[in-house]
Amino acid sequence: MAVEAIKSHIGGRAVDGSGTPFDTVNPATGQVIGRVAAASPADVGRAVAAAKAAFDGWAGTTGTQRGRILREAVRLLRANRDRLARMEVEDTGKPIAEALSVDIDSGADAIEYFAGLAPSLHGTHHDFGRAFAYTRREPLGVVGAIGAWNYPIQIACWKSGPALACGNTMVFKPSELTPMTAVALAEIFAEAGLPPGVFNVVQGKGDVGHALVTHPEIAKVSLTGSVPTGRKVAAAAAGAMKHVTMELGGKSPLIVFADADVENAVKAAMMANFYTQGEICSNGTRVFVEASLHNRFMDALVARTQKMRIGDPMDPETQVGALISADHRAKVLGYVEAGVKAGARLVCGGRAPADPALAGGYFVEPAIFDACHDDMSIVREEIFGPVMTVLTFTDEDEAVRRANATEYGLAAGVFTRDLARGHRVVARLQAGTCWINTYNITPVEIPFGGYKQSGIGRENGLAALEHYTQLKSVYVETGDVDSPY
Ligand code: NDP
């Protein structure tokens, strides 16, 4: 297989980075698919300078002009769905069925939504008789954005859509493990007519991210990543009082009451744990089931999970692909071992599949642990793989207390047929996004982000506009200045 040279994209051009190059592999085969020309700190400086140079021009366009270019990028994203989805599958190991139905389109949806809002961005007017005031909603400047590897193009779109619609420019660093589609997005933006320098991509590892975050010309940092990285990045940004959006990890609860529709609850629990091999930040990995429903729930859950098709991610029938890397698989299998040692009952999965055709990739069969306790590491820590933990509870207060007993607060779900209880429980859950009788649905119209350690700020929805703009208040006197002097 040809090994692709993966470059940065600076000032409208593909650029060979002058940092230390590294290989990127297809997680489903372990084969090298690309050689990444990493950026050096000097390259990061060039990218930020290009974004800075493009800022006045881009911020000076009207919202309608920005929206038009962004909508053309949306058209191109959708027209290139197949090509981009295949690229994403090669890079991430996720099933092509998912990439075709979710990844590209949810990225395109975000850009389309903010393209539509761009012409309507406005300030307010305040009348004080012979004086008046108004506010201007202004862009922040150059945004430094850093992505995780689980939804590479979607994350790049979720960040660039609102940032660019608001008149900012951006330097984006994808995860070192998934360098390909951010460059494809930069090319699409260029083809759509985005001026050079408005959206730039720098390739590299954490050191490149650090150089970006600490660059003095970066006005705002937007990170999607783990809590430990978020702490480091937020601390580095705080040194220069930069704005931050932090989309971080989670260990979210899914509470299933005894009156729930069992089939729907089981389907949602599987979606909440096994979609994208469990590599989703908002996953409901602590499934609290009311004790009287436990046996019925488990029977249905295990029967369905055992039917899941694990295999070549490029096969449209595949439902479970490969984990992102050998290291990550080792981490996930380490958690499975720790769960067994701690006394949880491994009901199914949790191993590499026996199929020799999959031996080169980083596959793990979806695992369900029953008889879990709140203090086990598999229940407390984010595993970011296909590992579900099931716990039982006996009353509502107990379920809420245990669901909230975590440093995380990204998401939560409740299954019940009792409408009053559903709303009462979500009102008490400490989480940025809550679902009643479903899980992991994230339309662009609703804000997404974390409580507690799971993050700062919100992506999507009108709320994102607050995080990519700043307000200037202007007071205008039309009469004489009142003065005691
Ligand atoms: P990491 O925190 O390891 O990395 C995130 C990004 O930060 C990567 O691009 C990484 O580069 C970069 N980075 C690492 N160190 C630094 C540093 N010191 N300064 C600046 N940048 C740095 O997360 P993963 O990529 O492993 O992604 C998984 C995590 O992301 C999970 O915790 C998951 O929950 C979370 N996530 C959160 C989402 C949300 O919206 N809340 C959505 C998706 C994922 P490199 O890859 O090269 O190390």
- Could you tell me what percent of the chain has a pLDDT over 90? 99
pLDDT at 406: 98
pLDDT in tens, 210-269: 999 999 999 999 999 999 999 999 999 999 999 999 999 999 999 999 999 999 999 999
User: Which residue's CA lies nearest to atom 34 of ligand 1?
Assistant: 249
Centre of ligand 1 to C-alpha 176, Å, is 10
- What is the arithmetic mean of pLDDT over 277-288? 98
With bands split at pLDDT 50, 70 and 90, how would you rate the model's confidence at 3? confident
Residue 323 has pLDDT above 60, yes or no: yes
pLDDT at 4: 83
Residue 451 has pLDDT above 90, yes or no: yes
Q: Which atom of ligand 1 is nearest to the CA of 328?
A: 26
Centre of ligand 1 to C-alpha 246, Å, is 10
Domain architecture of the chain: domains with CATH: 5-249+454-472 (3.40.605.10), 253-436 (3.40.309.10)
Q: Which atom of ligand 1 is nearest to the CA of 247?
A: 41
pLDDT in tens, 181-206: 999 999 999 999 999 999 999 999 99
**Which one is catalytic: 247, 365, 396, 459?**
247
Residue 1 has pLDDT above 70, yes or no: no
247 is known as an active-site residue? yes
Distances 306 to 274, 299, 322, 351 between C-alpha atoms, Å: 12, 11, 17, 13
- Could you tell me what percent of the chain has a pLDDT over 70? 100
Q: Which of 178, 210, 229 to mutate to test the pocket of ligand 1 (most atoms within 8 A of CB)?
A: 229
User: Which residue's CA lies nearest to atom 14 of ligand 1?
Assistant: 206
pLDDT in tens, 85-105: 999 999 999 999 999 999 999
Pocket (CB within 6 angstroms of ligand 1): 146-150, 173, 175-177, 205-206, 209-210, 213, 224-226, 229, 232-233, 247-250, 281, 382, 384, 410, 450, 455
Residue 2 has pLDDT above 80, yes or no: no
Q: Which residues pair with 455 in a beta bridge?
A: 247
